[in-house]
Amino acid sequence: MHLRSYSRRVLAVAMVFAAGASAACDSFDSLLEVENPGVIGEPALDDANLRTAMVASTIGQFQLAYDDLVVGGAILTDEVVNGHNFDQWRQFDLRYVEHTNSILGSDIYNPIQRARGAADDYASRLREMLGADADRDLGLARVHAYGGYAYVMLGEYFCESPVNPESGALTSAEILAAAIDHFDEAIRIATAANAGAATDSVVAMARVGAARAHLWRGENAQAITYASQVPADFARYISFSSATSDPNNRMQAATTGASQYLGVDAAFRDLNDPRVTHIAAPVRGHNGLTDLYTPFQPPSYSEWVSGQQVPFGLGTDIRFTSGLEARYIVAEAQGLNADNVVFLNERRAVGGQAALVIGDLTEATYQAELRDQRRRDFYLDGHRLGDLRRYIANYSVDDFPSGPHPNAEWGAYGTATCFVPHNNERIGNPSY
């Protein structure tokens, strides 16, 4: 079952709003008159079916937000160029992020805040429902695990953000610290549930997430501890479906037909690597201006086959966490050593590149090579924006696009490295 689709059906009884961001402008006054409205009535708290719906809705809200984040992050970074006619997308492609940008609110900020809010709200409600059983309930562990990833994406994508209407904005590092708290709870509860393979899957998912958050915060020892316990073959995907409109993968429309609007950016073109493939000659799409080298599915997409050019489908799933990522985290956090060079050469072999000799590498050249392999392995799967921000913060390496935009009419790139909360948050949240 596609939980994303299932979640959409239960939203009528299980919708959680972002921290002041979800309302239209003409409803702010009425929102401010309501104090923490409950989304589920007290008589329903013992309904076992509702508990299942809460878990499914938490997962579904995260999945609904994810492909929008993939597209937005790819446009803001060096993964793709934008061919959409809407000026809001052009601004992102030029690295200009304004809090009044309507697409920022509707497609990027509101969805991930709803995912974060759902996890926080349902974790609290499930704990109240379950009582003494909460500390061994696998459903609650899953809510914490997906909640952790919602916090990770919010922290990596946004310069700052509030997470409740009673406090001001948190920094990215503070948001990622909250993610780690969710992941630790997921590991603790899933372990106590002792549910065999289901426990192992939740624990692995949470360990990768915790390692990712620690790495971003510069806490390498903790990142290694978590990541080194993840099985190499672990993977978790965002599920999509071609059956209905709600759970469609947005990448299909963005790369298909006369109205397509994404093309591989110069930094990723002509790599001669099966992980990053595209059409040979550019086409013009939605805006009739941008040269678009249409990408095909990369390895994080469920139908990728090495050596084949597979278009994106409406039901193509996206890998968002994996044992491969855990190995990259260890390799980055530990730095240059023999084992990590073996791993680096394994990834180079996937791309048809020759092996490197450890004696020819310095720490700086090793890390540069590792960054290059990482961008190929995780192309268009939601990692790049967080990675580029981490490289600036931790290593003073800036790989964001700069200089003249490929569309000369648009001028030069700006300097934005992250998104900001939409203006609705500023108006609707008195603490922000």
Task: Give the global pTM.
Answer: 0.90
C-alpha of 331 from chain center? 21
Statement to judge: residues 122 and 8 lie in one domain: yes
Q: Does any domain span residue 64?
A: yes
Q: Does any domain span residue 292?
A: no
Which string of b and e fits 16-51 if b means at least 16 CB within 10 Å? bbbbbbbbeeeeeeebeeeeeeebbeeeeeeeeebb
Statement to judge: residues 227 and 341 lie in one domain: no
* Mean pLDDT of the 51-58 span: 94
Of residues 43 and 269, more confidence is placed in 269
- Cα angle 218, 227, 199; round to 5: 130
* Domain span including residue 373: 335-395
Q: Does any domain span residue 227?
A: yes
The answer on pLDDT for 308 being more than 50 is: yes
Ordered DSSP codes for 341-402: HHHHHHHHHHTTPPPPPGGG--HHHHHHHHHHHHHHHTTTTT-HHHHHHHHHHHH----S--
pLDDT at residue 34, rounded to an integer: 37
Share of the chain above pLDDT 90, in %: 85
pLDDT at residue 166, rounded to an integer: 81
Q: Does any domain span residue 110?
A: yes
How far are the Cα atoms of 9, 149, 244, 368, 388 from residue 248, in angstroms, in the given order?
15, 21, 7, 35, 28
pLDDT at residue 246, rounded to an integer: 73
Report the C-alpha gap between 395 and 103 in whole angstroms.
31
Statement to judge: residues 211 and 348 lie in one domain: no
Statement to judge: residues 64 and 182 lie in one domain: yes
Q: Does any domain span residue 267?
A: no
pLDDT at residue 390, rounded to an integer: 98
- Counting the structural domains of the chain, the total is 2
Statement to judge: residues 171 and 208 lie in one domain: yes
The CATH number of residue 27's host domain is: 1.25.40
The answer on pLDDT for 132 being more than 50 is: yes
The answer on pLDDT for 219 being more than 70 is: yes
Of residues 245 and 407, more confidence is placed in 407
Statement to judge: residues 214 and 352 lie in one domain: no
Ordered DSSP codes for 142-172: HHHHHHHHHHHHHHHHBSEE-SSTTS-PEEH
The answer on pLDDT for 84 being more than 50 is: yes
Tokens describing residue 295: 């990408």
Contact yes or no for 162/431 (Cβ under 8 A): yes
pLDDT at residue 43, rounded to an integer: 56
Statement to judge: residues 152 and 8 lie in one domain: yes
pLDDT at residue 20, rounded to an integer: 39
Statement to judge: residues 53 and 192 lie in one domain: yes
Q: With bands split at pLDDT 50, 70 and 90, how would you rate the model's confidence at 165?
A: confident
